[in-house]
């Protein structure tokens, strides 16, 4: 019987969105207990967040360095720390904890820029610790089903990948009004200092790119991008058109937008091979449309018939009982828990992980920087 | 800061389905910790389940009487017990725990029959304890939105309610083959001794009936039913047609089936009033179609625009990030946690609960028995 | 090379809905030309309608008797007459034309009542003429696909049929206001003298019943019905719940309503057999969902893969190019044209027709009268 | 009372697809009768086609020049000729008929290349005749609704247009096998000599482009394209990614493909403005999703509530009774009939037409050539 893993957290205090998601995800399958953290750069906010979260006051720290240092000295030290701060605050805490021997779960995108990303890769490689990046959409069972179908060549050689991620919550200038409901979320995401070179391409375009890589395992050769900031006064892109050419000869595109009125969280991927095609949409994620060439399409259902175990094993309830975003996110946490136990019990790090790792994160940052590079060169094709 | 409530469990050991669901639901919003239980009538199964669940061996009990007795004597006694056994094992444990002063969360339907149900109602009334029944579909945010719209008269006086709950997992004689994947689930559900007088009408028809009551608050006047056992050798109904007449003059119907090939968990409700109609489907539960008379229908989205706070407050993530079955179930657990805290902190039991209570359970058992009565009388209209 | 058949028409003048549909349907596949008619009981309306329709003034008649008489004497007499009047004006013109040796296409339901229906059956039988009833939904290619799949036992023995036909255009008292947009349509449909004993059960419930019969070929044994007039002052039903028992042991239900707010023309049928199920919805009629037991459902597409020729042969354009209501209606007209040519060329009447015939019409009238009988007996089961 | 217009046809003989569509479209609303034609370059095929179509043998001609000449001399000459041949056979017949004073309806794309297109524009301008191009998707009522909503500024200034047209019928090398079902259709469409410089971009990409122009009335400033021929041996593109920049500052993209497995005729357009967005999909064309910013989306239904008369007036049946591809096509024919009557009765040509005209055709050819130019320049942005 494995005990609950001890989880620490950096960021995610009151008013944050993704921190709460990480906590639910960690709890869902009962692999973790949250025991330590720094929840905000504002000490008072952090402290009252810690209280709400029932953190032992002795394990609420004033900053991440202090936390890393003190946790490292404890017998019952945390097994892993989750970093859920804005992008510019990923690299330093991650490095700090890795250097103290801790495993790390980090929100995406990996870092503020490519320099930081390369730095972080080296630290991870040297550390021998586990590093997971919560590109959470890879945790959806039907995404894993799609990936497995492609690994098993059910679609034949892939020709085309069309991915998109459309939202509309930044259709107006939320970041200009600190009374707006989405102000906190909007302000750092539209600020190059905290978000990096990419706006919507970094916030959500990277999810689409990661999903393509995860499902198809195609390697990108070059891209051509046209980024736009539609909302007056906005510094970063809020819309991106990207054309893709893969090394295999496959082609594709990514459209990501945060001004596409009527779209809530429209992440969609379509993959077309010589023998068949698939369609998946995050907003109704329990189904995968599969269209074998020359036959009627069928609708594969999570936990239903003809589902690979790689997908079935990460669901909790029978087909027809919908699972959602939190369950997909929880699958990443459960993957990481299993990996940590492998390491604890067998002393080894799994070289290849189903959960997104630091190299996926590096690719994401490269993707952001290459799209910006292409776009500023009037959509020149840029080698990846 | 409220501590986690201490939860006990009866049933839900290895191989069970609904016990695991209750546990996830209790964990999701971090209001509970599972600390005690009897997980199976088979002691070895119960014990190894307890170990898996990290229960202190001293709080794994040989039976529910022992558990009620010993827990009652502890300082850190459980705050509430969840009863997740088959139907025939609801009444006695519930009575036992209520008599010892414990709050109870019980799976549906309430009891094996109406006699037990009436008995239980009395015990609950006498006890001063909280009693919640997990008609979990009432926990879905868009179900609560629908209810609130009707309370606010957005549909006008209700004329019609069409509800259905269609599955296909009992389309073959699973219960005859103890090697079949669904054997454990099928065998007790098709056995009158363990399930009661209703087969599919009790297992899922009651959910549909409960959903009608919850959303519309219409009171049933009489019903006419035609129950069928399609699968040879099956004693209980696997299909039910029920016509409904409500006291207000509204009409309706419930169709429930477990042999409707191609349906996974197809719970759907449509309500039509003089001024508008709504449609909700459990398999894509984050949306509610609302059709005001003479205007284009609109698609309300969980956490989205024009959602009442009664719905918005029981979601965790923004619109477009789907929540599912487990989150809806967790809402019931969170409602109960709030009610327990009200009781602990203010010494009072909330008289009217948003979560389903023992009277809803009594109505469910009446519904089962009345449909059976009508069906055996060749669909005579039977007063409710 | 076959010439165009000469078509006459009774009814369908200015302001009528279904007459125009019949004319388009007759024209679509170029089998007919409209050459004669009486288009309204009001002579002036009829005359100006005839002009608009480019009818030779010599073949616009003052009434149907005159038309039957004069056409019978012409060399270039009409080959067939379409009767598109309200229900109470079906029987007499039909008898009149049949007695003169003309083929007849008649709108549904067959007649005002069962007495007329029986009379008409006898006249048809004696006449040797063709008689087609435009239960047009049987003309949809995917309805024919469904029927063929069942004939070929792809679903196994049928257990259940759930059909419904829901509209909302009579949710208010349109018939009370002769300025309302739908007044003309509403007034005769809600008037027992012109519509017969059934309101919504006759107008649209019969379509649902006919569709069940056409697709499944099950024979009804008995029914139990609950008809309601929700709109104050309305004499005929505007909502009907009907439970069905078939001779084979199959069960089913029909719900038809004209007050179900938000439904435009929601005709839906679901059939469940031991081996599989199907779902079809008139509002998106080019697809048929097919769910073989234990396999993922597939979406069959009109003109697409795995479609029987009986369906493929009645489409005009490739899959993905939607056909609709008019094309389905036209298929009935084309079937009749083929039958007329069989008769002209080979002197014989096809004994079994794919298009709905007078016996289907008789069944429809029986269905109306039996539902009314059951409903007025408090939903007693009534033998069919 | 207007007589039926006399229609001639070039092309569309046995085995052709689009010719039959034109004929049905011309017949649907009874504005035309087909009286003359040359139906194939193969005389025997043409002749037997003419017989099947009941063409007076005296008006079946050996070639289009003969037809134009002889028809011009008749009293009862055709009012308009429909040219439904492959692309390389549009220009010369069109010019020939225009020069003889005939109105012309021509299938898209306009011509084989830009040179021909420019030539044809001049001939049309000089002729005073009507020239319509059957970009038929502009005939769909809900497409016209979308256009009208944008004209009325319901979406606010447009920011984004995402259009796509995906098929899969050319996923294999049909054109290499003259026994394949689609050989006739595939062979000329993949042959630069008959199809022009564009493959899928010309065949269907132009439809998407035309739809964008029609609905949004945005003017294209420049485009960047990546065309691919995935199927080995294919000379023309079977997939196209195109990024768009409009003069107004709006952006967009077109993806067209004929190798996207599982897509039948997937033409979809999404338009996003500052105040709202719309979504329309050709395969279920009776609905338009409209998402006003900050409000729940609504589903507008053809002929239903809140539909502009420009849309309502081109439907034939009530909401819920689906119309499809042929009805949309017929709307173009009816528009042209009205324009011809305007010309006949008032001696004037309407300067601005709702139906696509020669300038729309010219834009389409420009679009093809510019995408090819961009693609061969490694996706350089090319001014439109």
| 3-state SS record for chain A | CCCCEEEEEECCCCCCCHHHHHHHHHHHCCCEEEEEEECCCCHHHHHHHHHHCCCCHHHECCCHHHHHHHHHHCCCCCCEEEECCCHHHCHHHHHHHHHCCCEEEECCCCCCCHHHHHHHHHHHHHHCCCEEECCHHHHCHHHHHHHHHHHCCCCCCEEEEEEEEECCCCCCCHHHCCCCCCHHHHHHHCCHHHHCCCCHHHHHHHHHHHHHHHHHCCCEEEEEEEEECCCCCCCCCCEEEEEEEECCCCEEEEEEECCCCCCCCEEEEEEEECCEEEEEECCCCCEEEEEECCCCCEEEECCCCCCCHHHHCCCCCCCCCCCCHHHHHHHHHHHHHHHHHHHHHHCCCCCCCCCCCHHHHHHHHHHHHHHHHHHHCCCCCEEC
Asked if pLDDT for residue B73 goes beyond 90, the answer is yes
* Total of domains in chain B: 2
Buried b (16+ CB within 10 A) or exposed e, C22-46: bbbbbbbbbbbbbbbbbbbeeeeeb
Range of the domain at A222: 139-317+364-383
Q: A287-292 and A276-281: which strand pairing? A: antiparallel
Asked if pLDDT for residue A1 goes beyond 90, the answer is no
Place B17 in a pLDDT band, splitting at 50, 70 and 90. confident
Same domain, residue pair B290 and B156:
yes
Nearest CB to A160 within list D224, D260, D279: D260
Q: Is residue A352 part of a domain?
A: no
DSSP D194: H
pLDDT (tens digit per residue) in C85-125 = 999 999 999 999 999 999 999 999 999 999 999 999 999 99
Candidates A296, A306, A307, A311, partner chain C, best to mutate (most C CBs within 10 A) = A296
Same domain, residue pair D147 and D86:
no
Supply the pLDDT for residue B54.
97
Rg (CA), chain B: 20
Supply the pLDDT for residue D349.
65
Across chain B, mean pLDDT equals 96
Residue A264, both tokens: 């809530």
Q: What is the mean pLDDT of residues C312-323?
A: 97
Last residue of a domain, one of A129, A148, A171: A129
Q: What is the mean pLDDT of residues C129-144?
A: 97
Same domain, residue pair B147 and B116:
no
User: D294 and B305: CB-CB below 8 Å?
Assistant: yes
Supply the pLDDT for residue B105.
98
How many Cβ pairs within 8 Å bridge chains C and D?
107
Q: Is residue B354 part of a domain?
A: no
Beta bridge partners of D60: D37
Place C351 in a pLDDT band, splitting at 50, 70 and 90. low
Supply the pLDDT for residue A11.
97
Supply the pLDDT for residue B351.
62
Q: Hey, is D175 helix, strand or coil?
A: helix
Query: Given a contact as 3+ CB pairs under 8 Å, which chains touch D?
Result: A, B, C
Place A242 in a pLDDT band, splitting at 50, 70 and 90. very high
Same domain, residue pair B309 and B166:
yes
Same domain, residue pair B113 and B147:
no
With beta carbons less than 8 A apart as the criterion, state whether D300 and D288 touch. yes
Supply the pLDDT for residue D15.
81
Instruction: From chain A, pick out residues whose CB is under 8 angstroms from the CB of D164.
Output: 162
User: D298 and B298: CB-CB below 8 Å?
Assistant: yes
Q: Is the dihedral of CA D79, D84, D85, D87 positive or negative?
A: positive
Buried b (16+ CB within 10 A) or exposed e, A81-92: bbbbbbbbbbbb
- Go through chain A and tell me how many residues it has: 384
How many C-beta neighbours within 10 Å does residue B219 have? 12
How many Cβ pairs within 8 Å bridge chains A and C?
32
* pLDDT < 50 stretches in chain D: none
Beta bridge partners of B276: B292
Strand order in the sheet with B32-38: B32-38, B5-10, B80-83, B103-106, B131-133
Instruction: From chain B, pick out residues whose CB is under 8 angstroms from the CB of C251.
Output: 226, 228, 239, 241
Same domain, residue pair B50 and B113:
yes
Supply the pLDDT for residue C242.
98
**Which residues fall within 8 angstroms of residue A166, CB to CB, at 6 or more apart?**
A255, A256, A257, A260, A263, A266
Q: Is residue B324 part of a domain?
A: no
Q: CB-based burial of residue D7 (10 Å sphere; 0-12 exposed, 13-18 middle, 19+ buried)?
A: buried
Instruction: From chain B, pick out residues whose CB is under 8 angstroms from the CB of A1.
Output: 51-52, 54
Share above pLDDT 90 across residues of chain B, in percent, rounded to a whole number: 94
Asked if pLDDT for residue C129 goes beyond 70, the answer is yes
User: A306 and C296: CB-CB below 8 Å?
Assistant: yes
Supply the pLDDT for residue A350.
61
Helix (H) / strand (E) element for B36: namely strand B32-38
Q: CB-based burial of residue A104 (10 Å sphere; 0-12 exposed, 13-18 middle, 19+ buried)?
A: buried
User: A261 and D273: CB-CB below 8 Å?
Assistant: yes
User: C326 and D304: CB-CB below 8 Å?
Assistant: no
**Which residues fall within 8 angstroms of residue A119, CB to CB, at 6 or more apart?**
A91, A95, A111
Q: Is residue D337 part of a domain?
A: no
Residue D215, both tokens: 């609905």
How many Cβ pairs within 8 Å bridge chains B and D?
32
Same domain, residue pair A86 and A145:
no
Nearest CB to A30 within list B3, B27, B304: B27
Place A182 in a pLDDT band, splitting at 50, 70 and 90. confident
Place A364 in a pLDDT band, splitting at 50, 70 and 90. very high
Could you give the angle at which helices C358-376 and C114-127 cross, rounded to 10 degrees? Answer: 170
Beta bridge partners of B257: B166, B239
C159: CATH? 3.30.360.10
How many C-beta neighbours within 10 Å does residue A109 have? 28
C-alpha C237/C-alpha C225 separation (Å) is: 11
Instruction: From chain A, pick out residues whose CB is under 8 angstroms from the CB of C290.
Output: 296
- Who has greater pLDDT, B163 or D353? B163
CA torsion D351-D352-D357-D363 (nearest 10°) is 110
Residue C257, both tokens: 């309503």
Last residue of a domain, one of D96, D129, D162: D129
User: B54 and A21: CB-CB below 8 Å?
Assistant: no
B27: CATH? 3.40.50.720
Q: Is residue B339 part of a domain?
A: no
Residue A346, both tokens: 């067998």
Supply the pLDDT for residue A346.
87
Residue A240 backbone phi and psi in degrees, to 5: -145, 130
Q: What is the mean pLDDT of residues C195-206?
A: 96
Q: Is residue D154 part of a domain?
A: yes
Q: CB-based burial of residue B30 (10 Å sphere; 0-12 exposed, 13-18 middle, 19+ buried)?
A: middle
Q: What is the mean pLDDT of residues C353-380?
A: 97
CA-CA distances (angstroms) from residue B75 to B7, B70, B78?
Answer: 14, 10, 9
Same domain, residue pair A146 and A82:
no
Q: Hey, is D105 helix, strand or coil?
A: strand
Same domain, residue pair A101 and A213:
no
Candidates D174, D246, D261, partner chain A, best to mutate (most A CBs within 10 A) = D261
Q: Is residue A29 part of a domain?
A: yes
**Which residues fall within 8 angstroms of residue A340, CB to CB, at 6 or more apart?**
A5, A79, A80, A103, A130
Same domain, residue pair D19 and D41:
yes
User: A326 and B327: CB-CB below 8 Å?
Assistant: yes
C-alpha C329/C-alpha B325 separation (Å) is: 43
Chain C residue with CA closest to A302: the answer is C296
Last residue of a domain, one of A73, A98, A129: A129
Instruction: Of C6, C56, C62, C60, give the one whose Cα is nearest residue C34.
Output: C6
Supply the pLDDT for residue B347.
83
Strand locations in chain D (E): 5-10, 32-38, 80-83, 103-106, 131-133, 158-166, 220-228, 239-246, 251-257, 266-273, 276-281, 287-292, 298-301, 382-383
Asked if pLDDT for residue B81 goes beyond 70, the answer is yes
C-alpha B340/C-alpha B332 separation (Å) is: 12
**Which residues fall within 8 angstroms of residue D313, CB to CB, at 6 or more apart?**
none
Supply the pLDDT for residue D350.
61
ipTM over 0.85: yes
Q: Is residue C256 part of a domain?
A: yes
User: C298 and A299: CB-CB below 8 Å?
Assistant: yes
Same domain, residue pair C149 and C275:
yes
Beta bridge partners of A160: A251, A272
Q: C103-106 and A103-106: which strand pairing? A: unpaired
Same domain, residue pair C209 and C272:
yes
C-alpha D97/C-alpha D119 separation (Å) is: 14
Residue B87, both tokens: 């139907």
A117 to chain D, closest Cα gap in Å? 30
With beta carbons less than 8 A apart as the criterion, state whether D133 and D361 touch. yes
Candidates B240, B243, B262, B300, partner chain C, best to mutate (most C CBs within 10 A) = B262
C-alpha A340/C-alpha C263 separation (Å) is: 54
pLDDT (tens digit per residue) in B219-231 = 999 999 999 999 9
Residue D91, both tokens: 């220009």
Share above pLDDT 70 across residues of chain B, in percent, rounded to a whole number: 99
pLDDT (tens digit per residue) in A318-343 = 999 999 999 999 999 999 999 999 99
Place A349 in a pLDDT band, splitting at 50, 70 and 90. low
**Which residues fall within 8 angstroms of residue A115, CB to CB, at 6 or more apart?**
none
C-alpha D248/C-alpha D271 separation (Å) is: 14
């Amino acid at each position: 019987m494995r005990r609950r893993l001890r989880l620490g957290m950096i960021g995610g205090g009151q008013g944050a969105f993704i921190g709460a998601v990480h906590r639910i995800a960690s709890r869902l399958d009962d692999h973790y207990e949250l025991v330590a953290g720094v929840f905000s750069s504002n000490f008072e906010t952090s402290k009252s967040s810690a209280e709400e979260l029932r953190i032992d006051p002795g394990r609420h720290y004033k900053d991440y360095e202090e936390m890393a240092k003190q946790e490292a000295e404890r017998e019952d030290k945390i097994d892993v720390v989750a970093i859920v701060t804005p992008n510019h605050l990923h690299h330093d805490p991650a490095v700090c904890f890795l250097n103290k021997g801790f495993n790390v779960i980090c929100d995406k995108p990996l870092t503020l820029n490519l320099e930081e990303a390369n730095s972080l890769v080296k630290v991870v490689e040297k550390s021998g610790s586990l590093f997971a990046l919560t590109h959470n959409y890879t945790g959806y069972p039907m995404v894993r089903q799609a990936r497995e179908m492609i690994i098993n060549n059910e679609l034949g050689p892939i020709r085309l990948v069309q991915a998109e991620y459309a939202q509309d919550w930044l259709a107006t200038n939320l970041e200009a009004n600190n009374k707006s409901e989405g102000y906190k979320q909007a302000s750092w995401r539209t600020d190059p200092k905290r978000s990096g070179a990419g706006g919507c391409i970094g916030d959500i375009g990277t999810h689409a790119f990661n999903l393509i890589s995860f499902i198809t395992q195609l390697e990108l050769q070059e891209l051509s991008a046209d980024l736009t900031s539609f909302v007056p006064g906005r510094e970063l892109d809020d819309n991106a058109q990207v054309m893709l050419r893969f090394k295999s000869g496959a082609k594709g595109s990514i459209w990501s937008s945060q001004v596409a009125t009527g779209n809530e969280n429209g992440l969609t991927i379509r993959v077309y091979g010589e023998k068949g095609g698939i369609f998946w949409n995050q907003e109704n994620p329990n189904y995968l449309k599969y269209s074998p060439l020359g036959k009627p399409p069928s609708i594969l259902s999570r936990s239903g018939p003809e589902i690979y175990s790689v997908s079935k094993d990460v669901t909790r309830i029978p087909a027809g009982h919908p699972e959602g975003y939190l369950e997909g996110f929880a699958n990443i946490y459960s993957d990481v828990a299993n990996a940590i136990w492998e390491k604890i019990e067998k002393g080894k790090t799994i070289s290849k992980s189903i959960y997104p790792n630091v190299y996926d994160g590096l690719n994401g940052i490269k993707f952001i920087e290459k799209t910006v590079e292409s776009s500023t060169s009037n959509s020149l094709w840029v080698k990846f």
